[in-house]
Amino acid sequence: MNRRRFIASSSAALAASLVTLESDKLFAQRADGKKLRVGLVGTGVRGISCWGKALRDDYGDVLEFVALSDINPGRLRYGREYIGADCPVFTDFDEMLETVPMDFLIVTTVDATHHEFIVKGLKKGLTVFTEKPMTTDEFKCQEVLDAERESSGKVIVGLNYRYGHLFTELKELLAKEQIGKLTSIDFHWYLNTYHGASYFRRWHGLREKGGTLLLHKAAHHFDLLNWFADSEPVEVSAFGSLEHYGKNGPFRGDNCRTCPHKSDCKFHWDITKNEHYMKLYAANEHHDGYIRDNCLFREEIDIFDKMAVQIKYANNVQVAYSLTTYSPFEGFRIAFNGMDGRLESWEGLPWLEKQQEDQAALHAKEMSQSGGGADEGRYHEIITSMNWQESQVRKLPFVRGGHWGGDPIMKNQIFKGIAPPKDFGQQADVRQGAMSVLIGIAARRSIDEGRIVKIEELTDLKPA
Ligand SMILES: NC(=O)c1ccc[n+]([C@@H]2O[C@H](COP(=O)([O-])OP(=O)(O)OC[C@H]3O[C@@H](n4cnc5c(N)ncnc54)[C@H](O)[C@@H]3O)[C@@H](O)[C@H]2O)c1
């Protein structure tokens, strides 16, 4: 029998809603102790690490890899070896699906191809886990929605930020209406010249592959916003341009390994120092021409490197969001404005980190007989400012690895049926996956067409 669980909803009255999670259904089906039979398509870095080796190492008692697929035969072979999976490999996905019985399909391919495997998996009645973004345009999104409606299987979308400790804390405070009714959110994300630049080196730099960073990256952020706002987006307007990377660069080369500008280029990246990447990518580039250390100044790059998006929600919450890809530091600022006050948090702002260190040093001094703090002087802060009162700063242990500690919580829920310690409906279904990408798709269209785009223009989903 399926387990049914009351999940605390974050709606105004913390109404409880009865939800049967897809992972709970799967878990119940394995009550006989049989291992979950897992197939995976896309043996790139995310596929073979987080959803490959780490899964086999940490959940080998409850699941087994039964097949792997990728269009690149070399990466596929290396992926199997890296994961340590003793299973057949297929460069033909359809053949894998036809010949290998499985229960669970993991999709970790290039973003613009996710829909293809989701739809085929659903047609087979499988539970399909897809990495974010669920897909990259409205037509593919509609295909996924239709396929799920016709299938006995379901989609789980890897929107892992929701599970992160800091974000769950913020969600809890919003659900408790700490600052009264939520009215607006300011959210600004800064990718630095290492992480931000990395997207322009490879397929993410092409709209046709990653849908622009409004999909590839911001889907995470838009999903958090939907979850925090406890509503669905209705209208989107946006600006964006490409001013730093791509054709804007002063010079370009074929790839960083052979580039004549190695010594002048501040973005030069030496992939040869990374043995894993050399084996995964460089050793297999002759199969498909995928150059992992490609030039981020190549002319073909057609995505935005700065983006500003305004979102209006069905419950009238409004959002000001931005994404910058060439920031001197990596971090974010988020603030929630409510009728009674304001809640905010941040990460990675160097001048505040400095203050943090000082505070930690102070604390370590106070605690010196016990040898000082073990948090390396870093912590998260949640600042609550109630109207006409002083701001209160709450410090949380700094957890950044595994997406703010969210990845293991998400996996425990999917593969072991263990609910998150603070359960706010973190497991994202197809509708939530769709809503997170529809904002990016609408924003991209808004930039292209210079107008406000309504979410209901895009698919048959009506925002609620
Ligand atoms: N949730 C997160 O925090 C997170 C982090 C990193 C990556 N991701 C997602 O994981 C996915 C993979 O990212 P990555 O960094 O591993 O990329 P990658 O380029 O290393 O791997 C992508 C793989 O897909 C394969 N592929 C491409 N088209 C295919 C097709 N038609 N059929 C079969 N295989 C195909 C490629 O050969 C490659 O091996 C992306 O969707 C990305 O958005 C999510």
CB atoms within 10 A of CB 357: 13
Residue 416 maps to a domain: no
Tell whether 215 and 323 lie within a shared domain. yes
CB of 436 closer than 6 angstroms to any ligand 1 atom: no
Q: What is the mean pLDDT of the chain?
A: 91
Q: State the pLDDT confidence band at 376, using cuts at 50, 70 and 90.
A: low
Nearest ligand 1 atom to alpha carbon 133: 43
Indicate if the pLDDT at residue 2 is higher than 80: no
Among 125, 159, 193, where does a domain finish? 159
Among 96, 130, 159, where does a domain finish? 159
Mean pLDDT along residues 106-132: 98
Q: What separation in Å is there between the alpha carbon of 47 and the centre of ligand 1?
A: 7
Residue 410 maps to a domain: no
Tell whether 61 and 199 lie within a shared domain. no
* pLDDT score, position 373: 32
Tell whether 96 and 233 lie within a shared domain. no
CATH code of the domain covering residue 203? 3.30.360.10
Q: What separation in Å is there between the alpha carbon of 267 and the centre of ligand 1?
A: 23
Q: What separation in Å is there between the alpha carbon of 42 and the centre of ligand 1?
A: 6
Cis amide linkage into residue 133, ω under 30° from 0: yes
CB of 71 closer than 6 angstroms to any ligand 1 atom: yes
Tell whether 191 and 307 lie within a shared domain. yes
Question: Is residue 184 classed exposed, middle or buried when 0-12, 13-18 and 19+ CB atoms within 10 A define those classes?
Answer: middle
Quote the pTM value.
0.92
Tokens 């087994």, residue located:
64
Tell whether 218 and 311 lie within a shared domain. yes
Query: Rounded distance, CA 309 to CA 245, Å?
Result: 20
If one counts the domains in the chain, the total is 3
Tell whether 207 and 253 lie within a shared domain. no
CB of 135 closer than 6 angstroms to any ligand 1 atom: no
Query: Rounded distance, CA 311 to CA 439, Å?
Result: 8
Tell whether 55 and 151 lie within a shared domain. yes
CB of 205 closer than 6 angstroms to any ligand 1 atom: no
CB of 109 closer than 6 angstroms to any ligand 1 atom: yes
Atom 38 (ligand 1) nearest CA: 44
The range of the structural domain enclosing residue 60 comes to: 3-159
Contact, 191 vs 217, CB < 8 A?
Answer: yes
Tell whether 319 and 368 lie within a shared domain. yes
Give pLDDT tens digits for 277-305.
999 999 999 999 999 999 999 999 999 99
Contact, 409 vs 420, CB < 8 A?
Answer: yes
Residue 137 maps to a domain: yes
Indicate if the pLDDT at residue 238 is higher than 90: yes
CB of 108 closer than 6 angstroms to any ligand 1 atom: yes
Query: Rounded distance, CA 118 to CA 97, Å?
Result: 12
**φ, ψ (nearest 5 deg) of residue 311:** -130, 140
Nearest ligand 1 atom to alpha carbon 403: 3
* pLDDT score, position 25: 81
Query: Rounded distance, CA 273 to CA 263, Å?
Result: 16
Q: What separation in Å is there between the alpha carbon of 163 and the centre of ligand 1?
A: 21
Tell whether 146 and 165 lie within a shared domain. no
Residue 277 maps to a domain: yes
* pLDDT score, position 355: 61
As a whole-number percent, the residues of the chain with pLDDT over 90 amount to 84
Contact, 383 vs 345, CB < 8 A?
Answer: yes
Residue 85 maps to a domain: yes
Tell whether 220 and 256 lie within a shared domain. no
Residue 321 maps to a domain: yes
Give pLDDT tens digits for 93-104.
999 999 999 999
CB of 72 closer than 6 angstroms to any ligand 1 atom: yes
Tell whether 168 and 263 lie within a shared domain. no
Q: State the pLDDT confidence band at 18, using cuts at 50, 70 and 90.
A: low
- Mutating to test ligand 1, I would choose from 91, 109, 213 the residue with most ligand atoms within 8 A of its C-beta, which is 109
Contact, 56 vs 83, CB < 8 A?
Answer: yes
**How big is the chain, counted in residues?**
464
Residue 419 maps to a domain: no
Atom 20 (ligand 1) nearest CA: 44
Atom 26 (ligand 1) nearest CA: 109
Indicate if the pLDDT at residue 143 is higher than 50: yes
CATH code of the domain covering residue 11? 3.40.50.720
CB of 132 closer than 6 angstroms to any ligand 1 atom: yes
Residue 417 maps to a domain: no
* pLDDT score, position 269: 96
Tell whether 155 and 182 lie within a shared domain. no
Indicate if the pLDDT at residue 239 is higher than 80: yes
Give pLDDT tens digits for 406-441.
999 999 999 999 999 999 999 999 999 999 999 999
Q: 293-331 burial, b for 16+ CB within 10 Å, e for fewer?
A: bbbbbbeebebbbbbbbbbbbbbebebebbbbbbbeebb
As a whole-number percent, the residues of the chain with pLDDT over 70 amount to 91
Tokens 């305004």, residue located:
310
Indicate if the pLDDT at residue 189 is higher than 70: yes
Give pLDDT tens digits for 216-228.
999 999 999 999 9
Q: Cα dist. 321→10, 187, 398, 443 in Å?
A: 22, 5, 24, 11
Q: Which residues contact 217 (CB under 8 A, 6 or more apart)?
A: 189, 191, 199, 323
Contact, 181 vs 439, CB < 8 A?
Answer: no
Atom 33 (ligand 1) nearest CA: 70
CB of 131 closer than 6 angstroms to any ligand 1 atom: yes
Q: Which residues contact 371 (CB under 8 A, 6 or more apart)?
A: none
